Amino acid sequence: MPKKAQKPRIKRETGILILLMGHTGAGKSSFINTASNRPNTALVNESITSESVEIMHFTIPNPANPSERPIIFVETPGFNHLKVDDYQILRLVSEWMAKSCAPDVDVGGIIYLHDISQPRTNKTKCLLDGLSSPETIKHLLLTTTKWDGRLREYEPREKELKRKTWQKLLDRGAQISQFGNDRLTGTESAWKVINMLLKQGPLELGILQQDLDRIAGKGNQAHKKKSRKGLFAKLFKLFGLNSE
């Protein structure tokens, strides 16, 4: 008997989806725990490597508006992962949304977390640069984490992020914010970040999926090109020819 297609678990009324993205260790799980004011909601990874390629979601009520739909945080596997490349991660996220969410689910947007304590910005180059829909970019919030009160030391790094790494995204309508670098409590600071996104109004799930699929598709093409090049190099070698 043919298998019945499973109904998506997340419906429009279940909540508003927010994707938490960023490099491994950027503080995605810690952000969720701080927002929910419960330290054990998501598992904080104290290891120096990231093992999980699982996509997890956490439903958190909005403390300022408990009668509103809750926020469904989707913690995506960290970029720069040991096991899967960044393109695959975007593909996994899009597949997860297609499987788990009804098509009319509202998306609050993407919070892209960046660890400001990291001295190098070249690792912060990320695939989200390839987002093309103005709607998706309007719902992208580039958020720095781990300020630890070191404002003077880290502010020049934030300036450099704005001027160089993130400049194009910011010019196209993305926003920037800081988590935990204000006089607010951690939870208040997290909700200040979340509310910046919610103010933009909802993003359609389909638009976000299309954008992520397009970037992930570029990874497929690059991978095919690379394997074709490798195959030709092997054949040339076999026949004693120079492939250059």
Ligand X SMILES: Nc1nc2c(ncn2[C@@H]2O[C@H](COP(=O)(O)OP(=O)(O)OP(=O)(O)O)[C@@H](O)[C@H]2O)c(=O)[nH]1
Q: List the one residue out of 45, 43, 46, 24 whose CA is nearest residue 32.
A: 43
Contact pick of 18, 29, 139, 175 for ligand X (by CB under 6 A): 29
**Structure tokens, 239:** 């026949």
For ligand X, the closer CB: 45 or 210: 45
**Structure tokens, 82:** 């040991």
Q: Can residue 44 be called a binding residue for ligand X (CB under 6 A)? A: yes
Choose the binding region for ligand X from 23-31, 96-104, 205-213, 228-236 (rule: CB under 6 A): 23-31
| Backbone region of residue 26 per phi and psi (left: phi > 0; alpha: psi in -120 to 50; beta: other values) | alpha
Contact pick of 25, 108, 109, 219 for ligand X (by CB under 6 A): 25
8-state DSSP, 142: E
Distance in Å, CB of 1 to ligand X, minimum: 39
Choose the binding region for ligand X from 134-142, 143-151, 158-166, 219-227 (rule: CB under 6 A): 143-151
Q: List the one residue out of 229, 194, 226 whose CA is nearest residue 64.
A: 194
Distance in Å, CB of 155 to Mg ion, minimum: 26
Specify the residue for token string 């993205």.
21
Half-sphere exposure of 186 (CA within 13 A, CB side): 16
Q: What's the one-letter identity of residue 78?
A: G
Q: How far apart are CA 21 and CA 36, in angstroms?
A: 17
Choose the binding region for ligand X from 1-9, 21-29, 193-201, 227-235 (rule: CB under 6 A): 21-29
Contact pick of 3, 46, 199, 239 for ligand X (by CB under 6 A): 46
- Which residue spans within the chain are E strands per DSSP? 16-22, 56-60, 71-75, 106-115, 140-145, 175-178, 203-204
Distance in Å, CB of 15 to ligand X, minimum: 20
For Mg ion, the closer CB: 28 or 157: 28
Q: Compute the radius of gyration of the chain from its Cα atoms.
A: 20
Q: Can residue 29 be called a binding residue for Mg ion (CB under 5 A)? A: yes
Footprint on this chain of Mg ion (rule: CB under 5 A): 28-29
Instruction: Enumerate binding residues for ligand X (CB under 6 A).
Output: 22, 24-30, 44-46, 50, 52, 78, 145-146, 148, 180
